[in-house]
Amino acid sequence: MLHTKIHLLFLCRVHYALHFLMVLFLFIIFSISHDSYADSSQHQQAVTQSGASHTAAPARWAKGRLLVIPRAGLSEKRFDKAIRPHGFKSRRKLNRLNAHVYELPEGVDEVKIMNKLKKDRRFKAVELDQLVGPSQEISDPSFNKSWALPKIQAPFAWDIASGAGVTIAILDTGVDNTHPDLAANMVPGWNVYDSNSDTNDVYGHGTKVAGTAAASANNGVGSAGVAWNAHIMPIRISGTDGYAYFSAIAEGIRWAADNGARVANISYENAAGSITVQSAANYMRSKGGVVVVSAGNTSGLVNYAPSSALLVVSATDSNDKLASWSSYGPSVDVSAPGVSIYTTTRGGGYGNVSGTSFSSPIVAATTALLFSTNPNLTPSDVDQILTSTTQDLGEPGYDQYFGHGRLNAGAAVHHTYAQLNTDNIAPTIRITSPTSGTVSGDVLVDVSYSDNKEVVRVELYVNGQKTIVDTQPPFAFAWDTSELANGDYTLVACAFDAAGNQGTSDPVKVTVKNIEADTTPPTINITAPTSGTVSGNVPVSVNFSDNVGVVRTELYVNGNKVAESNATEANASTSFDWNTATLTDGNYTLIAYAFDEAGNQGSSAPVQVTVKNTSSTAPLPTINQFSLQNRANVGRFENVKVKADIRTKQITMKVDGNTIASAQGNILLYRWSTWESAPRGSTLSVTVEASNAEGGVVSETVTVKN
């Protein structure tokens, strides 16, 4: 599970308001400040701000991990084939989501591999698994406890709906399920971080968010949430430091969608910018749910592209001004109160808190009110209602500070109540690529689509047969023609909205013309070195074979290509020069790949070696004589002589990676029966290694035929 920690850099200052008789005394209880975190990753970025007085924490991510989303229809086999050259050591699919978590070998640069994979159009998205923290809590002067509720006309909304029958998932640090204002509304949740059902609040942030959304009302204590009769589903995504990975957020959304939540709230910085989180949000939308995310508290521009998968919320104050610390940008959909919000705190208390962390659950709770009013609303309906019933602030119409305006829960609920109707307008769709011509192999099929509400599914039909289904926008297909008979085929795409209306594209006719497939991959083996310690310029020898012919071989070290060689033979050997002089001493993984004309790829078993380049005080040995040098052919028996200088402690002789002789000291004499190593007429790779007392090794390799 997610054990790599990052220090929580945001300040947490919470105002607790205590009343005695009719005099209000406000004092600051405490201020928490954390030590700085030493990032183990060699990569670290600062989020760019525009005129920000509060800066975001440096972006950090899981070292050696990538999140990859393929096109619909790309088979597991072809998916793995596409990523195999990059040295992935493991892969797991996020349950029910079309997103994969890839772990890279130690020492591989995940940013470099990500940039390579982004160029492959078979993948919809490739990104780092970033670690993000809860949107900060900001220290502000106290306001009236309940100012936010009348500001958004919540009491007017309550004339019609209170959230009954709707579950809001709070993806956060957990929730205090014993709190007197929350306990009655709690339903079972899940702990993604530890993979168990313990969802108790380990940091304190989630309890405040939950109370803002759905604290009970009419119970004689505390505060009231916007959807005070809704269920609260706690989903813990963080460690005790409050931070969570994109992959944990995505898994939390999936769990919420599969377990009855109609709304999910994510009060976390930068989450809106993750393609993986957006993909999970699209999964929830496919099941009729909505995901709401806080914009963040950087005081500046957060330049994420808008996403139809998420509702992103900035923060306003009691005067309908943008909060001084609120993030803004083109991804913002709406704004909502976020300054001095009176809510529940861990341990049974209450307090005034500020931040987009609390604007977001106000919008999430209003979404629950809409679903409570009309359970048949689609996510697209919710988007349209929330954005069309706002109080316009700032520049007329949409702007990047307030989005479509400040939330008006009363207007949204009453609009929903008045518009209980059905959607009978079908989507439109067309195939934009290919539009005709000859195709082969993996055919990338692109579509253009639109709907008065929202397209939730696109299907690709080939000759009238449903072939691929994509439920996560942007909709795109990879049609595998490799096993089809050559000939003419007709493609049709069908788009569906949430009401079940179907739109159909015009047919596109293409001709499949695949050369009779060579599906047999080459075989390749690293014959030297096969283990041990190496240094300096290391000859890496390989043998390869193929049923037709190998056209190229490549050598990868820790997932990075370091050398390649062209070939035109069916069975042969070659050698790469690997210069380790500039490398840090340590363990390295070598993998060789062979490719044939058909694109089939074979890979060797990985070889683990240790690079140890000795200092000037321990010179490497020198091989002065090797009797097989400059020999193309050898007889059945060969008297092999190897002589090195006096710094040599041991000499070893290997054939095709297997040790056949060794001698202590600087001379090796060996009568080699070549036919015992391989049948007569074989091509053999012979390596001799000379090592010194400090572990330094030099080697020479020759290729001979017996």
Per-residue pLDDT at 569: 74
Residue corresponding to tokens 């929903």:
416
- Residue 54 catalytic? no
- For domain 428-512, say whether CATH 3.30.460.80 is its number: no
Q: Tell me the CA end-to-end span of the chain in Å, nearest whole number.
A: 54
Closest by alpha carbon to 232, among 200, 210, 252?
210
pLDDT reading at 59 higher than 60? no
Is the Cα dihedral 106, 110, 116, 122 positive or negative? positive
Residue 140 has pLDDT above 70, yes or no: no
Question: Do the domains at 428-512 and 614-706 have one common CATH topology?
Answer: yes
Instruction: Select which of 162, 216, 267, 357 is catalytic.
Output: 357
Given the residues 179, 205, 404, 414, select the one marked as catalytic. Answer: 205
Average of pLDDT values for 652-676? 93
Q: Closest by alpha carbon to 373, among 336, 411, 406, 403?
A: 411
CATH 3.30.70.80 fits 12-40+54-132, yes or no: yes
- Catalytic residue, from 172, 383, 442, 451: name it: 172
Judge contact between 454 and 380, C-beta under 8 A. yes
Gap between the Cα atoms of 330 and 306, Å rounded: 6
Q: Please give the pLDDT value at position 488.
A: 96
Say if residues 237 and 169 touch (Cβ distance below 8 Å): no
**CATH superfamily assigned to domain 614-706:** Immunoglobulins (2.60.40.10)
Structure tokens at 86: 């990059």
Task: Write down the architecture of domain 148-418 according to CATH.
Answer: 3-Layer(aba) Sandwich (3.40)
Q: What is the mean pLDDT of the chain?
A: 86
Q: What is the pLDDT of residues 636-663, one digit of tens each?
A: 999 999 999 999 999 999 998 899 999 9
Q: What is the pLDDT of residues 590-630, one digit of tens each?
A: 999 999 887 899 999 999 999 988 655 678 899 999 999 88
For residue 7, pLDDT beyond 70: no
User: Using alpha carbons only, how large is the chain's radius of gyration in Å?
Assistant: 32
Predicted pLDDT at 615: 59
pLDDT computed for residue 422 by the predictor:
67
pTM of the model: 0.63
Which residues are CB-contacts of 465 (< 8 A; sequence separation ≥ 6)?
Answer: none
The DSSP code for 86 is: G
Here the tokens at position 4 are 């790599």
For residue 400, what pLDDT is reported?
96
What are the extents of the domains in the chain?
12-40+54-132, 148-418, 428-512, 614-706
Helix (H) or strand (E) holding 275: helix 275-286
Give me the percent of the chain exceeding a pLDDT of 70: 89
389 vs 334: CA distance, rounded Å: 10
CA 3 to CA 62: how far, in whole Å?
10
Residue 36 has pLDDT above 60, yes or no: no
Residues 6+ apart with CB under 8 A from 396: none
∠ Cα 558 561 564 (to 5°):
135
What CA–CA distance (Å, rounded) separates 613 from 535? 5
The answer, yes or no, to whether residue 577 has pLDDT greater than 60, is yes
Reported as a single tens digit per residue, the pLDDT across 202-254 is 999 999 999 999 999 877 778 899 999 999 999 999 999 999 999 999 999 99
* Residue of 699, 700, 528 lying closest to 631 (CA atoms): 700
Buried b (16+ CB within 10 A) or exposed e, 610-630: ebbebeeeeebbebeebebee
* Best CA proximity match to 311, nearest among 237, 382, 229: 382
Asked if 682 is an active-site residue, the reply is no
Question: What number is the average pLDDT over the span 341-367?
Answer: 96
For the question of residue 541 being annotated catalytic, the response is: no
Q: DSSP 3-state assignment of 411?
A: helix
Distance CA 451, CA 453 (A): 5
What's residue 597's pLDDT? 80
